[in-house]
Structure 1
Amino acid sequence: MLAAGETPEFLGPIVALLVSAGLIGALFVRIRVVPIVGFLLAGVLLGPHQLGLIADEAAVHDAADIGVMLLLFTIGAEFSVERLSRIKRFVLGGGTVQVVLTTAVVTGLFSLFGQDWRIGVFTGFLVALSSTAIVLKVIAAKGATQEPVGQAAVGTLIFQDLAIIVMVLLIPVLGGESEGGALGIARALGTAALVLTAVLVVARKVMPPLLERVARLCSPEVFLLTIVAIALGVAYVTSLAGISEALGAFLAGMVLSESRHSAHALSEIMPLQMIFSAVFFVSIGMLLDVGALADLWWLVLLAAAAVVAIKVVTAYTAVAVLRVGAPTAMGAAFLLAQIGEFSFVLQQVGSDYGLSPAGLGAEGDQLLVAVTVLLMAATPALGALGGALARRLPERAAPAPAGGDGSEPSGDTRDRVLLSGWGPVSKNLGHYLKVNDIPVTVTTLNPDLAAEAEAFGHTVVRGEASKAGVLHEVDMERVKLIVIAENSAEEATHLAHVLHGVAPGVPIVVRPTDAPDVPGLYEAEVERVVDTHRAVTEPLGRTVLDLLKIDHVDMGRPNPTAVDAFRPDPDTDCAHTETIRPVLPKSAGCTECLRQGRRDWIHLRLCTSCGFVGCCDDSPGRHADLHADRFGHPIARSVEPGETWAWCYLDAVVLASADTPAERP
C-alpha cells in the first residue's frame, strides 16, 4: 500500500508511454500514415538511449510480449483452418521458397566477402523473417486481406512463423555446439510436432463446449477473461516444449476461429490487443540508440537498401513461381520487404551462442535494430510503391488454388436488414421481413436466442452490435437498414451513436422497450422512433418496408414461428393419414418460389409431413404437387384464409378437418 500523496514509481513512465504514443500516433493518422510508425518513433524518443523517460525496460518488454501473443491470437482467430487450407500453396510453396532463397542469397553474399558461412546463415535467418504485425496492419488498412496479394503475403508470413522453430533449433549448431547433432534436432522437432498436435486436438475438443458454457452466462467480463486465459495458456504450454509463445497463441486463435463464438471473442479482446500491441511497437523503438549509430548512418542506409533489394527479389520469385501473376507477386514482395519482430528473438538466442548480425558484435545488434525500425516505419510506403508498380504490370489470370479459388465461400449477397438483439419484437419483425423475402442478420449475445434465430433461417452473428469486431463480421456494406427493438431508450441511444459512426449512411429505426427519449434518439441521428405502445409487428414492419421502399405482402400466410397441427376427420376416406404430424411451416410463402426470387403463386399448400410450403396446381410452379411426388409426402393442407381442408395426392381425396369440417371448393 502507498502512503497518502505517494506516487507509484511505475505510473509516470506508463503515463509518458501512453500519452506520447497516443499523441504521435494521432499525428501520423492525420498525415495519413499508419499509427504503428508513430509508436516506433515514440519508443525511440522515450527509450534509455534518448530521453530516458522509461527506466524499467524489462516491464515494457514483458508487456510487449503479451502484445505479440494477443496480436497473433487475434490473427489466428480471423484465419480459420478452412481459410488456411485455401492458401496452403502460399504457405508451403511460396513461404518455403522465400525463406530458403533469402537465406541462401545472404549466405552467398557473406561468403563472397570472406565471412564464415555460419555467420551468413544466421544473418540470413534474421533477414528472411518479415514483420507479421506490421504487414497485417497494412493489409487490413488497405482492405486487401481477401485479395490475392494479401493472401500471398499472409501465407508467406505464416510459413515464416513456423520456420522460427527450425531456426531456433539450428542456432546451437551454427554456434559450434554440436551436442546431439542431427539426432538432437530431429528429437526436438518431433517433440514440437507432438506438442502442437496435442494442443490442437485438446483445444478443439475442450474449447467449443467451454466457450458455449461461458457464453451462456452472458457476461462480457467473464467471457473476456476466458479468452485471454485461453490465448496465454496455450502460449505458455507450447513454450514449455521450446515452441514460440506467439505461435502457440496463433494456434489457439485458429482453433477459436472454428467456433461460432469467434466474432464475439474478437470483439471483446480487440481493445486489449490494441493497447498491448502499441506497447510492443514502442518497445521495438526503445531498442534503437541513435547516438551510437550517428557515425554509421551510411551503413544503416546501405544495409536497409540491401535488405529491401534482396527481399523484393526473393519474395517476388517465391510468389511468381506459383503462377499467380506478376502484379500479385510484385505487391506481395514489397509488403514483405522488411525485417520482422521475431528476428529479435533469434538475435537473442544467437547471442547466447556467440552469434551476432553480420558478425559485428554489439554494433551488429544496433545495426539490426536500426534497419528493422527504419524498414518497419517504411513498410506503408513500400506497400504503396509495390501497389503502384503492380498496376503497371500486365494482368494475367491466375489458376485457382487446389482447394478452390481462394475466395470466401459465397452466401446470400443480397442487401439485408440488421436486427440488434433477438426477442419477441425482433422475432415477429423477422417473420414479417421473411414474408417479404428480405434477408435478415441478427446480432445477439445469448447463445440460446442465437440458435433460435438461426432455426428461423436468419444469419446470426454472436456478440453485441456495439463491438467493432461483431460489426465487421456482419458485413455492414450490405446492410441497408438497422432496427434496434430489444433495448431501452438509453441503451438504444448509445448503440445508435456507435452504429452511425460505423455506417453513417444507413437508416436506423428504434423501438425502445421503455418510454422513448425522442430528442436524445434523434440527436443520435436515428431515422425513425416507434413508440412502444403502438409498436405491434405490423406498424413496425411497415415502417421498415417504407424506408426500404418495398411494397409489403399480406402476413395472412403460413407463420414459420407457429406449429401447424392439422387433424383430419376420423371418417375421412384416406389410407395415408398416419403421415400427418405437427409441423413448423418452412416459409411464409411458397418455399421454392421464394428461393427462385419469384412470387407468382396463386394459392398455397402446406405439407403435413415436413412443413414445406408449396404453390397449388393452378400456380405456374405447381411446387406442392412436385414436392409430394419427389419426397413421397402424400398430404398437403390449404393455408388460404378460411380454408381448413387437406388433399391426398395418392388417393385423390379431400380430407376434412376434425376441428372445423369444410368441403373443398
Structure 2
Amino acid sequence: MAIATALVALFHHFRISSVLAYLVSGIVVGPFALGLIESAQTLQFLAELGVILLMFTIGLEFSFSHLVAAKRLILGVGGSQVVLTSLALGVIAVLLGLSLQEAFVLSVALSMSSTPIVLKQLGEQGQLSSPQGRISTGILLFQDIAAVPILVCLPVLAAETTQIGSALGWALVKMTAVFVSLVIFGRFVLPHVLDRIAKLRSLELFMLSALLMALAAAALSHFADLSPTLGAFMAGTLIGETRFKHQIEADIRPFRDLMLGIFFLSIGVQFQPTIFVSQLDAILIILACILLLKAVVLVPIISAFKYRLNEAWQSAVTLAHGGEFSLLVISSAVAVGVLNESLAQSALAATIVSMLLAPLLINFNQPISRVLGATTRKHISESNEADISQYADGFAEHVIVCGYGRLGQNTCKILKDANVSVLALDLDPEKSNAANMAGESVLFANACTPGVLRAAGIQRAKVLAITMSDSEVARRIANLARTVGFEGPILVRSKKGRDEQILNDVDATLFPEGLEASLSFAAQLMLMLDIPLSTVEKQLNTVRTKDYDSLREFYHSSVRVKANEQQENYPVMRLPVAIEDHHHAVGKTLNELALSHCGVDVIDVCRGSMRVPGRLWDSKIKDGDVVVLSGIESALNKAVSKLVEGF
C-alpha cells in the first residue's frame, strides 16, 4: 500500500494516469520483483469488487435515451470500430496460428481502449469537448457497453466445441431471466425502497444501500452462472433512471476507485517482466497491432461518418492503445481456460506498454495527426482547387472565413445581414453541403494550403477571419496568407492564454475569446445597474486599448492541477502579500523597495478599508498592509523575498 501510494503521488505530480501507477506498483511488489505479494489470488476478491463497482457506475451513466440521441456516433462509429478492429485483429491472429476462440478473445480485448486514461488526459488538455474529444468519448462509451456481453461470452467459449451452441443458448435464457427479474424489481420496488431510505436522512445508510444493490445484482447474476459484472451493469442502468443516480454515483465512486486500483495492482502482480526476454517478438507484434492497426482501421471509419480527416486522425491517435477492459478480458479468459498463460502474458505485456505510452500519444495527438494526415489532406485540397477557383471568381472585396463551426457560422450570418460578401472554408463535407443547400457560400476545402487560399480569392479579399479553435492551424493559415501576398487585416480567434503565445509572432489581430466573454458579461451587468451606455463603452475601450492586461491577471488556485492549468493559459498572476512587523518592507516606500526590478507591478496597497493603486501610493509600508503584486510566478517569488527578507 505504501508503494502504491508513493507511486500514485509521483505519477500525479507528472500528470500521468493513476491506472499506470497501480500497474507499476503491482509489478514492483509482485513475485518477479520485490516478492512482497506472491500471488494475485491474495487480492482477487477486492479486485473483482472493483470491476463490479466499475460496471455498476457505467450502468448509472448509461441511458437508453442518450444512446438513441447519439446513435450515429456511439452505435455507428463506436460499433464499427469494435467490430472492424476485432475482425482485422482476428484475421491476423488466425493467420499466425491461433485457434478461433483465442483469436476472438485476443481481438476483442485489443480493440478496447482505456476510458479513465483518455478522459483524464483529454480533460487536463482541455480537449474533452472538442470534436475529437466527443468522437473518442462516444467510441469509449460503446466499448464500455460492449465489454458486458464480451465478459458474458467468455465462460461459453470455454465449453466443448459441440456444446457451444447449447451453452450460448442457455446463457441467453439465464441472462433474459436475470434481466427480467431486475427490471421488475427496478420498476416496481426499487423507487419505493430508495424513497424510504432517503427519508431516513442517513448518508451512511444510503451509501451502504447503494453498495448492497450493486453487490446483490452481481450475486444474482453469479448464481445464474453469468458474469457478476452483467448484473452490476443492469442494476446501474435501472438506478440510473431514478433521481438518486448522482448521489449513489458520488457515494460509490471512492470505493470503486480504490477497489479498481487494487484490480490494476493485481494485474501488475501477474505481469512477468522476464517475458520480454523470452517472448519479445510476440510482444512487439501485438504492440504494433495495438498502436498501428487500430489507428489505420479507425481513420476510414470516422471519415466514413463525415467527420473531418484531422479529427479522425486525432481520435485514432488518442485511442491507439489497450485499456483496462483489455486486461480484464485477457485475465478472465485465462481463468476460464480460453487463453494459455504464455499468450496471455505476451498480450498483457503489450497492453501495459501501450497504456504507458497512451498519455504521451494523447498529449501529442494534434502534431502526430498533422504528420500522419498531411498526404491525405494535400490530396483533398488539390482535388478541389479548380472548383473553388471557379466558384470564387465572382467574389471581390469579400471576407474569407476559415472554419464554419459555431463562431464561423454566427460570423457569416451577421456579415450577411450587413450585406457583406463572405466566403467560408471548412473541412467538414456534411456541414458544407448542408450550408450550400441552404444558400450559404461555404466550400469544402483545406485552408492550410496556399493553392486553396489563392483559389478562394485571397488577394481580392478585404479581410481574412480565422475562427478555428486549433491555434497551430490558425497560425499556419495566417502565415500562408501573408506568404501568398495578402496584405489586408487578419483576425484570429484565440481561446486561451497559451494560444496567444503560439500566435504571438503572427502578423494578425488576435480576438481573445475568453477575455471578450468577460467584457460582455461585465457590460451586461453594468447596464443592469443603469450605468450609462457611454460609460460602459468607455470602460470596455480602456481595457481593449491596454491589450486586456487587467484581465490577464488572476488569483490562482492552490490546487496543483488547477493552478498548473491556469498558469499555462494565463501565466501572469496576482498575489496579495500581507506585511508583518518583522518584514524588510516595513518603514520603506515602494520607490525604496524598487519591486519593478524584480519584474512585477504593484497593483494596489490595502490598509484597513482603504485601497490605493500602487502608482499613487507614496507612504511608508506598515505592519498589516497588504501589497497586491502582479507578474509571472518566478518574478513574484523574487518580489516576495525582497518584501520579506530584503533580497
TM-score norm. by structure 2 comes to 0.53
1:369 aligns with 2:344: no
Q: Aligned ranges for residues 21-100 of structure 1 at < 5 Å?
A: 21-55=4-38, 57-100=40-83
Partners of 1:216 and 1:498 lie apart in 2 by 38
- What is residue 379 of structure 1 aligned with on the other side? 358
Partners of 1:195 and 1:212 lie apart in 2 by 24
- What is residue 576 of structure 1 aligned with on the other side? none
Greater Rg, structure 1 or structure 2?
Answer: 1
List alignment gaps of at least 5 residues for structure 2. Answer: 378-425, 432-516, 519-527, 530-556, 565-647
Aligned residues: 395
Partners of 2:190 and 2:306 lie apart in 1 by 38
Compared CA separation, residues 209 and 234, structure 1 to 2 (3 A): same
How many percent identity over aligned positions? Answer: 29
The Cα shift of 1:42 comes to 1.1
Match of 2:276 among 274, 290, 293: 293
2:330 touches 2:348 (CA, 8 Å); kept in 1?
Answer: no
Partners of 1:29 and 1:498 lie apart in 2 by 15
Compared CA separation, residues 154 and 501, structure 1 to 2 (3 A): closer
* Partner AA of 1:47 in structure 2: G
Compared CA separation, residues 231 and 318, structure 1 to 2 (3 A): farther
Partners of 2:18 and 2:154 lie apart in 1 by 34
1:202 aligns with 2:181: no
The Cα shift of 1:175 comes to 6.2
More helix by share: 2
Compared CA separation, residues 501 and 223, structure 1 to 2 (3 A): farther
The Cα shift of 1:209 comes to 2.8
Compared CA separation, residues 327 and 168, structure 1 to 2 (3 A): same
Q: 1:368-401 CA distances to partner (integer Å, 9 max, x unpaired)?
A: 221121112222222223344456767644869x
1:318 aligns with 2:333: no
TM-score norm. by structure 1 comes to 0.52
- Root-mean-square deviation (CA, aligned residues, Å) is 3.9
Partners of 1:302 and 1:265 lie apart in 2 by 43
- What is residue 460 of structure 1 aligned with on the other side? none
1:77 touches 1:262 (CA, 8 Å); kept in 2?
Answer: yes
1:81 touches 1:258 (CA, 8 Å); kept in 2?
Answer: no
2:306 touches 2:428 (CA, 8 Å); kept in 1?
Answer: no
Compared CA separation, residues 236 and 152, structure 1 to 2 (3 A): farther
Secondary structure, counterpart of 1:100 in structure 2:
helix
* Partner AA of 2:213 in structure 1: I
Partners of 1:266 and 1:234 lie apart in 2 by 16
Compared CA separation, residues 289 and 377, structure 1 to 2 (3 A): same
The Cα shift of 1:351 comes to 4.2
Partners of 1:374 and 1:37 lie apart in 2 by 10
Secondary structure, counterpart of 1:45 in structure 2:
helix
Q: 1:259-298 CA distances to partner (integer Å, 9 max, x unpaired)?
A: 2232322332222222222222212211211124334445
Q: 1:113-141 CA distances to partner (integer Å, 9 max, x unpaired)?
A: 45555543343233223334444444554
Secondary structure, counterpart of 2:189 in structure 1:
helix
* Partner AA of 1:70 in structure 2: L
* Partner AA of 1:304 in structure 2: L
Partners of 2:283 and 2:308 lie apart in 1 by 33
Partners of 2:273 and 2:166 lie apart in 1 by 44
Compared CA separation, residues 196 and 55, structure 1 to 2 (3 A): same
Secondary structure, counterpart of 1:289 in structure 2:
coil
List alignment gaps of at least 5 residues for structure 1. Answer: 1-16, 401-413, 416-435, 438-496, 505-665
Compared CA separation, residues 74 and 331, structure 1 to 2 (3 A): farther
Match of 2:103 among 98, 115, 120: 120
- What is residue 280 of structure 1 aligned with on the other side? 263
Partners of 2:147 and 2:225 lie apart in 1 by 11
Q: Aligned ranges for residues 84-233 of structure 1 at < 5 Å?
A: 84-113=67-96, 115-142=98-125, 146-164=129-147, 166-167=149-150, 177-233=160-216
1:234 touches 1:252 (CA, 8 Å); kept in 2?
Answer: yes
Partners of 1:168 and 1:280 lie apart in 2 by 16
Secondary structure, counterpart of 2:162 in structure 1:
coil
Q: 1:92-112 CA distances to partner (integer Å, 9 max, x unpaired)?
A: 222332222223212322444
The Cα shift of 1:177 comes to 1.8
Partners of 1:84 and 1:222 lie apart in 2 by 32
1:306 aligns with 2:285: no
Partners of 1:243 and 1:172 lie apart in 2 by 8
The Cα shift of 1:181 comes to 4.5
- What is residue 263 of structure 1 aligned with on the other side? 246
